[in-house]
Structure 1
Amino acid sequence: MSTLHLRCGDDLREVLPRAGLAGDYLCFSDPVCVGPAEDHGDLLAWLGMRARYVALHAGQDAGQVRLRLGREYAALNGLQRYDAVHLWFEHDLWDQAALIRILSLVAEKRQLRGRLWLMPADGVRTFPEMPEAELAALRPAPLTDLQIEQAAEAWDAFAAPDPRALEALSRRALALPFLAAAMRRHLRDLPWTSDGLGETERMVLRAVAEGAATEGQVHAALRGADAVFHVTDLITREVIGRLRIGPKRPLLAKDPLRLSPQGEALLAGAARHRPPPRAHAGIAVLPDPPWLWDPAAEGVVKGD
């Protein structure tokens, strides 16, 4: 039986053969949990948009990124060549966003029914953190039609400019076990009604206030404090960078990392952040945000 292992990274490429899990390997590297993700169904336009973002995010050549992403998305059209496709996606936002993106693209491919299998994550560890013997003992579960349909629905809501459908979906009992919590974590990175900061931005400021003076120290603090959004070093760098922008920047522009008076006031609850423009999946974040996260109601609200 031919098997493909599909993963949002290369971190299992050499591990799975050592664990005795044979098969081809496909890395889906598009970090759709960050940056623009407005999707109008035009794959060429999507690839151009994502390549520009990823190249800027990672400091890579846009042309090379476009070629890599193009190969990976094209490979999704050939999944039916395999008897079984094992989906290695964990509980965190990075993995869940990639999973719903992939499933949104294959949801209508009837020839894949019965060939897609979800590997069981435990909701705590990443797969590379598991001993090889434990990986070898994992038994995949067949992906159901309901799971595929809900993933496609979640992607449409994730990529939409209005976050209310995604919030409503995140309050439901979903067939994909970790999806609702991941989508709520995504929404919590919208500016908050209380201070204008997203959750990751606030965590960065708190880490600096507690003594983190370098990107690496901030990254370690974020990784240790957040079980649902396992930020990468590049995400940490991007968040720090935007907190150093503007006349009322929360972080001082020069190293080592230090809070500005504005940053100190934000953490004390005595100021409000006006975020620089950015795309949060399909949602536009602006200095006067059209959408906010209300921590009291634990939901999204319209901006003033």
Structure 2
Amino acid sequence: MARIRPAVTPLLNLRCGDDLRSRLQSAGIAGEYLCFADPVCVGPAQDDGDLMAWLGMRARYVALHASQDPAAVRLRLGREYAALNGLHRREAVWFWFEHDLWDQAALIRILSLLAEKRLLRGKLHLMPADGERTFPELTDAELAALQPVPLSDLQIEQAAEAWAAFASPDPRGLDAFSRRELALPFLAAALRRHLRDLPWTTDGLGETERRVLRAIAEGAVEEGAVFRILRNSDRVFHVTDLIVREVIGRLRQGPNRLLMRENPLRPTPRGAAVLAGTDRFRPPPRFHAGAHVLPDPPWFWDPAQAAAIQGPKA
């Protein structure tokens, strides 16, 4: 008996957010739209291959991060990940992922799940980003003029390798990977920006934490102002308002906090001392992808070496 082949449906546009849903239509770009909105560039990302455990972990984090109902978040994430299993039924899948850390982290997460799916060969295409502007910043005519580029086997294989290193508890593997010649054009810079959010050997702050603290010390007294400063000053990590809120909350924690708890935003004397280089931040416990951050960090970013290094053992 002849095997019944699944019906092939038209083009799918895959994006790590909803910001292009209406824009692609107005630009005359055909196809359905799939939003993959798991913000894997922030929060825990330990991945042992158990998708159910992964969804539970990410749902708990995203619900807390976005002040949403955990059950609703779990259902949404489950639908997004399940939709990836049906991509082989598409004639083509166009990936609308830019140069920044948010997009690149989502891209390697998705490709890590698709790397072994032989039915997808030749169907996956990457839309060319210019490394400066986001896709929503382009005009309709500029969007319509973009030509999809087929994702090569090497790009997909390297994306899966990058994800394994991203999710590893030891960030030195990701550091080594980011120094290689990579087929995905913006991946190395994004991964190194991610690593720079490990505690620094100089002051204990990650790069985003330092940018937030400095913006407040220089006069940004509310979250919106901090967000605008960071958004306009960091080409590789396009922070969201929720990321800024989470970092501010982290700097307000504990008896040795760096920011005053009450509004308007302003540094504590300890925060001012950390910025001046006369004191150190002891970060509250959190996961940075697969790596654990603790008050006495097991891992640091060393700016002198521009490398992830192991902290002193107790």
TM range (shorter): over 0.9
1:1-304 aligned within 5 A: 2-304=10-312
Residue type of the alignment partner of 2:80: E
CA distance in 2, matches of 1:290, 1:216: 33
Q: Percent identity?
A: 74
SS at match of 2:56: helix
Residue type of the alignment partner of 1:262: R
Residue type of the alignment partner of 2:295: P
CA distance in 1, matches of 2:224, 2:290: 29
CA distance in 1, matches of 2:146, 2:137: 14
> 1:173-228 CA distances to partner (integer Å, 9 max, x unpaired)?
10000000000000000000000000000000110011000000000010011000
RMSD: 0.6
SS at match of 2:107: helix
CA distance in 1, matches of 2:183, 2:309: 26
Structure 1 residue 7, shift from structure 2 partner: 0.2
- Gaps spanning 5+ residues in structure 1: where? none
CA distance in 2, matches of 1:172, 1:153: 12
> 1:7-60 CA distances to partner (integer Å, 9 max, x unpaired)?
000000000011010101000010000000000000000000000000000000
Structure 1 residue 259, shift from structure 2 partner: 0.5
Q: Is 28-37 or 1-10 further displaced after alignment?
A: 1-10
CA distance in 1, matches of 2:124, 2:289: 26
CA distance in 2, matches of 1:247, 1:134: 51
Residue type of the alignment partner of 1:123: G
CA distance in 1, matches of 2:65, 2:35: 19
SS at match of 2:85: helix
CA distance in 2, matches of 1:293, 1:261: 25
Residue type of the alignment partner of 1:147: Q
CA distance in 2, matches of 1:58, 1:228: 22
Residue type of the alignment partner of 1:164: R
CA distance in 2, matches of 1:31, 1:269: 32
- Gaps spanning 5+ residues in structure 2: where? 1-8
> 1:253-288 CA distances to partner (integer Å, 9 max, x unpaired)?
100000100110011000011000001000000000
> 1:93-129 CA distances to partner (integer Å, 9 max, x unpaired)?
0000000000000000011000000000000000000
> 1:48-82 CA distances to partner (integer Å, 9 max, x unpaired)?
00000000000000000000000000000000111
Structure 1 residue 252, shift from structure 2 partner: 0.6
Residue type of the alignment partner of 2:23: V
CA distance in 1, matches of 2:231, 2:33: 27
CA distance in 2, matches of 1:300, 1:52: 28
Q: Alignment length, in residue pairs?
A: 304
Residue type of the alignment partner of 2:113: L
